[in-house]
Structure 1
Amino acid sequence: MKTSRKNKIFSIMIAAVLMFSMLAILPAGNTASAADNLGLPVKGAILIDADSGKILYEKNADQPLGIASMTKMLTEYILLDAINDGKIKWDQKYKVSEYAYKISQDRALSNVPLRADGEYTIKELYEAMAIYSANAATIAIAETIAGSETEFLTLMNKKAKELGLEDYHFVNATGLNNAQLQGMQPKGTSASDENKLPAKSVARLAYHLLKDHPEVLKTSSISRKTFREGTDDAIKMDNWNFMLPGLVAEYKGVDGLKTGTTDYAGQCFTGTAKRNDTRLIAVVMHAEGAEHMARFNAARTLFDYGFGQFTTEKIVPAGYTFKSQKSIPVKDGKEKNVKIATKDDISMMVKTSEVDDYQAKLVLTKKTLNAPAKKGTVVGHVEIDKKSSKDYGFIDSSASGADVVTTATAEKAGWFSLTFKKIGKFFANLF
C-alpha cells in the first residue's frame, strides 16, 4: 500500500513538472492567444465595440456559414432605408399574395398566420418580423418594396456590396432554407440553398444597421407583443431573443438584435448589449449545446469578456503632433512648411492590461502642399499598431484612424517673393 501511494505521489509530481515545463517554453506571443481562447462551442464568432467598430475577439470569423434568420437584419435595413426615403410608409397596406399566404400557414416555421383576403400595415409586418421572426411577414415586406422576392434579392446584393460585406450569398429574404418555401423560392436560386455569410460580415451588417438605423432597437428590444391585438387574428409573439429583460436567458443591457435557426445554420445569434456608454455586438454562428440556449450561453461569454476585460481608452488626442514629422513642405508658400496634427481623438476599446501596448503611426497621403491650402487640409491619417500579441483591427477600415490635417492656412507667397525665389533657384542651378 505504501509503495502504491508513493508511486501515485511521484506520478503527480512528474505531471506537474511537465506542465510547468511546457508553459515555460511557450512563445511569449501565445500568452494572449491562450487568454483569448474562450472555449466557445461554436463554428464562428466575433465580438466588436459598436461605437468604434474595434474587433475584440474572433473565432473562425472569415468562413462563410449559414446565417438563417439573421438574414432579416438586411431586410430590416432595406425597409428602414425605404421608410426614410419616403418610398414606403408605416401605415401603407399590404394585400396578401398567394406565396405569403401559403408560407404563413406553415406553423412549423416561425409565423403569424395571414388571411388570404387580408390587409396588413407595414408596421404590423415589420414588428412581426423583428420580434417574432415571422417569415411570411418578411416575404410580404420584400414584395412591397421590390414587387417580388426575386427582385428583392437584387436589392439585398446591392446593399451588401455597399456595406462592404464579403463572401455573401443570398437566396431569399427570410433566411429559411429554400426547400421550406414550397417550391416558390426566388427564381434563379437552388431549391435547397441557404443564405451564407462569415461572422465578420454579419457583425459588419449589424454595425452599420445600428449606425444608420438606431431606431431598430425600439422594436428588437420588445420582449413580448400581441399581433393584431383585439381581433380574431390575435397571436402572442414572444421574442426569440431570450436574453431580453424578463426572458429566460436575460442579460443586463441586451436590447437586440436577431436570432436564427435552421438545420444547416444551427443556432445563430447577433446580440447587442449596452452598459453605461459602452455598446457591444456579439455574433455567434452554429452554437452547439442545449437547444435554443447554446447561442445565448456563447453570447453571454462574449459579453462578459468584453465588459469585464476591456475599457475605452484615448490612444491619441486631437492635436497630436508626431516627433518624426511635425510639418510638411509647402510649394510657393509664404512659409516653407506648415504644421500638421491629428484632427480628432482616437479612442477605442482595449484590454485594460494592454493600454500601453498601442502606438500611433503616421501615414502621409500628401508629402507636399501647393499654396494656397486651407487650415484643416487632410494630408494623411493615423494607424494604430500593437507592440505585442495579436490585434484584430476594426470591422470597418474607415473607422480605424483619425485624419491628420494642417493646423494653419498655407498662404501663397506674393509675386515679388516668388520672382526672387525663381531667380535664386536659377543662379543656384547655374553654379
Structure 2
Amino acid sequence: MRIKNVLLKICSFVLVFGYFSGILTRTDAYAAEDILTITQNAGYQTTEFYKPKASIVIEAKTGQVLWEDNPDLKWNPASIAKLMSVYLVFEAIEQGKFTLETTVKATDNDQAISQIYELSNNSIVSGVDYPVQDLLYATLVQSSNVATVMLANLVTDNDEAKFIHMMNDTAKELGMTNSTFYNCSGAETGSFNGYYKPEGIDQNADNVTTARDLAILSYHLLKNYPDTVTYTSPTQITIMENTPYAEVLENHNYSLPGLAYGYEGADGLKTGSSPTGGFNYAATAKRGDTRLIEIVLGVGDWEDQEGELQRHAFGNAIFDQAFATYEYKQLLPKGDTTINKEDVILDQNFYGVIQRNTEPAFQLSTDKVTMETGLSQVSPTIKAPSVRFKYAKKLKALQNSTFFKNGKKKNALSTFFVNGLLIILGLLLAALAKLFKKDGSTQRFSPILALGVVLILMGIGLSVYTVIIGPWF
C-alpha cells in the first residue's frame, strides 16, 4: 500500500511537472518567434524560401531597437544605397551649393546610361535641363540610376570618384561601421557600359552594408532632412510637367497605401533588388506620434521575382508587431514632478518609447532623467532620450532663503549698493591716512584711518544684516 501511494505521488508530480513544462515551452517558443512565424501569423502566405537574411526595426526619434534578426550581416543593399546619395544631395542643398530648382543639363553620357535596358532608369535626353527636384523624384520613386548619377555629379562637379569617397566618409561619420560603397546608385559600376566609371574604384564590386547600418542612415536622413518622405511617398508622379519631356514615374514600394501591400502610415523609404542581394526593403511608417524605420534584407532569390512582393509581407508583419507593442509619447511633463520619491523640476517635456500598457521606470543621474526600457540603441552615437532636471527641495530652499526673498524686494539692490559704497569709502580713507602720514612720524593714532576702519566695519555689518534680516532702509 505504501509503495502504491509513493507511485501515485510520483505520477502526480510527473503530470504537474509536464503540464508546467509545456506552458514554459510554449512561452519560450513564443518569445523566440521568428520573422517567418510572425509573418505567417499575420495572415501572409509565405515560406522558408523567402525568409529574410536580416532585419531590424527602430523607433525613428530615439533610435531604439524594437526588433532585430541578424542585423549585422554584411549584405549588398542594391538600390537602397541611393539613400546615401540622396543624403549627400540634401546636405549640399543645406550648405547652399544649389537648390531644388537648380537644373542639371543632361550630357550624352547621361542619355546613354538612361538607355541601358538592364538598369532601372527614367528617360533622359541630352541637352535638356532637369531640375534637382525632378531628379530626386526619379531617384526615389523610379529608382533611376541615371538620375542618381546626375545628382552625384552635381554635388562634386563631375568628380565621380570624389562622390564615392564622400559616401564612405559620411558612413563613418554617421556610425555605419560595416558599410563600404563602390558606386552611387546600387548597380555595380561595370554595368554602366563605361559611361559611369569612378577613377580608382573597383568596377565590379558591390556595395556592402548591414541592416543596422541602413537603419542608422535612415534615422539620420529622416532626422536631418524630414522632407525626404515628400519624395518617397508618391505612388505615382509626373516629372518635367508641361514640357515635351514629361514622364510618369511609378513607385516600387508596394507597401504605400493604395498599392498591392498597402500599409497604414507608410510613406517611404526605398526598395532595392539585385542578383547578388535578392530583394531588399527600407521602410518608414508613422501612426500617431510613433514613427518606425525598418530594414529587410535578402528576401528570396533573384531568379524568383515573387520576392519583390514577399519583402513587403515581412516588412508589414514586423511593423505590425512593433506598433502593437511599443509607442512613442510624452512620459513626463515639463516642470514639477516626482521621480523615485524625489521631487524634481524638469527643464522640458520628456518623450520616449515605452511598451504599451506598462508604466515607465525612470532613473536620476547627476542632472538628467533617463528611462529604463531594456531597449538598445541602434548605434552608440545615438544617445537614449534624457532631459535635464533640478532637485525641487534644493531649489525651493534657495527660493525661500531670506537673501533670495530680499533680492526680489524693490530696495534690496539699493541696500547692497549703499553697503558697498561704505566699504569702498572706508578703504579710500585708509589709503589716504597712509599717504598723508609723515616720514619718521611716531604718531600712532590717525583720525582718517580710524574713520576708514569704522566705515568698512559698518559696510560689512550692514551687509550681514541685509542677508539675514533684510534691507535696513
Q: Counterpart of 1:65? A: 75
The change in CA–CA distance for 1:22 and 1:38 in structure 2 (over 3 A counts) is farther
- Contact kept? 2:62, 2:385, Cα under 8 Å: no
Matched with 1:209 is 221
Secondary structure of 1:225's aligned partner = strand
Change (3 A) 1:200 1:343: farther
Q: Specify the SS of the correspondent of 2:141.
A: helix
Match of 1:176 in 2: 187
Question: What is the match of residue 302 of structure 1?
Answer: 318
Aligned twin of 1:75: 85
Task: Indicate if the aligned counterparts of 1:166 and 1:198 stay in contact, CA closer than 8 A.
Answer: no
Counterpart CA distance in 2 for 1:392 and 1:403 is: 18
Q: In the aligned structure 1, how far is the partner of 2:315 from the partner of 2:187?
A: 22
The CA deviation at 1:294 is: 1.4
Q: 1:98 to 1:348 in 2, by over 3 A?
A: same
State the 1:233 CA deviation.
3.6
% identical equivalent positions: 27
- Alignment counterpart, residue 402 of structure 1, candidates 361, 386, 390: 386
- CA pair 320-154 structure 1, distance change in 2 beyond 3 A: farther
Does residue 392 of the first structure (1) align with residue 392 of the second (2)?
no
In the TM superposition, residue 190 of structure 1 has moved relative to its aligned partner by 1.8
Worse-matched range after superposition: 392-401 or 174-183: 392-401
Q: How far apart, CA to CA, are the structure 2 residues paired with 1:276 and 1:291?
A: 30
CA shift digits 1:79-134 (9 cap, x unpaired): 11222222112232222344433221113211012223333222221221121111
Please state whether the residue corresponding to 2:112 is helix, strand or coil: helix
Out of 191, 194, 200, which is 2:212 matched to? Answer: 200
Alignment of 1:161 with 2:172, yes or no, is yes
- The answer for unaligned runs of 5 or more in structure 1 is 1-15, 327-338, 365-378, 418-431
Picking from 123, 129, 139, the partner of 1:129 is 139
RMSD of aligned residue pairs (Cα, Å): 3.4
The one-letter code sitting in structure 1 at the alignment partner of 2:217 is L
Indicate how the Cα distance of structure 1 residues 37 and 132 shifts in structure 2: closer, same or farther if over 3 A, else same.
Answer: closer
1:59 to 1:177, Cα distance in 2 relative to 1, 3 A: same
Aligned position for 2:31 = 33
- Aligned to 1:249, the other structure's residue is in SS state coil
Stretch moving more, 391-400 or 87-96: 391-400
State the alpha-carbon separation in 2 of the partners of residues 159 and 19 from structure 1: 56
Aligned-pair CA distance for 1:34: 2.4
Pairing 1:220–2:236 present: no
| In structure 2, distance between residues paired with 1:363 and 1:26 | 39
Q: After the TM superposition, which residues 281-360 of structure 1 pair with which residues of structure 2 at under 5 Å, given as runs?
A: 281-288=293-300, 290-312=306-328, 318=334, 342-352=346-356, 355-356=358-359, 359-360=361-362
Mapped partners of 1:245, 1:133: distance in 2: 19
**CA contact under 8 A between 2:121 and 2:144: conserved in structure 1?**
yes
Cα distance in 2, alignment partners of residues 391 and 235 from structure 1: 45
Tell me which amino acid in the other structure corresponds to 1:384: M
Change (3 A) 1:206 1:141: same
Which consecutive residues of structure 2, in runs of 5 or more, have no partner in the other structure?
A: 1-14, 40-50, 404-459, 462-473
Q: Normalization by structure 1: what TM-score? A: 0.75
Higher RCO by CA contacts (8 Å cutoff, separation 6 or greater): 1
- In proportion to residue count, which structure has more strand? 1
Whole-Å Cα distance in 2 between the matches of residues 104 and 154 of structure 1?
A: 24
The correspondence of residues 414-425 of structure 1 with structure 2, limited to 5 A, is: none
User: Paired residue for 2:284, among 272, 282, 304?
Assistant: 272
- Asked if 2 retains the 8 angstrom alpha-carbon contact of 1:57 and 1:392, the reply is no
Distance 1:231 1:313, change over 3 A: closer
Deviates more, 1:136-145 or 1:209-218: 209-218
Instruction: For 1:178 and 1:161, locate their aligned partners in 2 and report how far apart those are by CA, in whole Å.
Output: 22
Query: Which of the numbers 92, 104, 119 marks the counterpart of 1:94?
Result: 104
Q: Which residue pairs with 1:103 in the alignment?
A: 113
Contact 2:219 2:293 in 1 (8 A): yes
Which residue identity is paired with 1:301? A
The question of whether the paired residues in 1 share the 8 Å contact of 2:63 and 2:382 is answered with: no
Tell me whether 1:239 sits opposite 2:254 in the alignment.
Answer: no
Q: What letter is aligned with 2:384?
A: S
Q: For residue 369 of structure 1, what is the aligned residue in structure 2?
A: none
Question: C-alpha distance in 2, partners of 1:238/1:344?
Answer: 43
- Partner residue, 2:11: none
Distance 1:88 1:45, change over 3 A: same
3-state DSSP class of the match of 1:64? coil
CA distance in 1, matches of 2:244, 2:17: 70
Question: What SS does structure 1 have at the residue aligned with 2:293?
Answer: strand
Partner of 2:203: 191
Partner SS state of residue 196, structure 1: coil
Shift of 1:162: 2.6
| Alignment partners' CA distance in 1, 2:330 and 2:236 | 40
| Distance (Å, rounded) in 2 between the aligned partners of 1:272 and 1:263 | 25
SS at match of 1:108: coil
Q: Secondary structure at the match of 2:237?
A: strand
Instruction: Give the number of the structure whose alpha-carbon radius of gyration is greater.
Output: 2
Take 2:221 and 2:255, find their aligned partners in 1: how far apart are those partners? 20
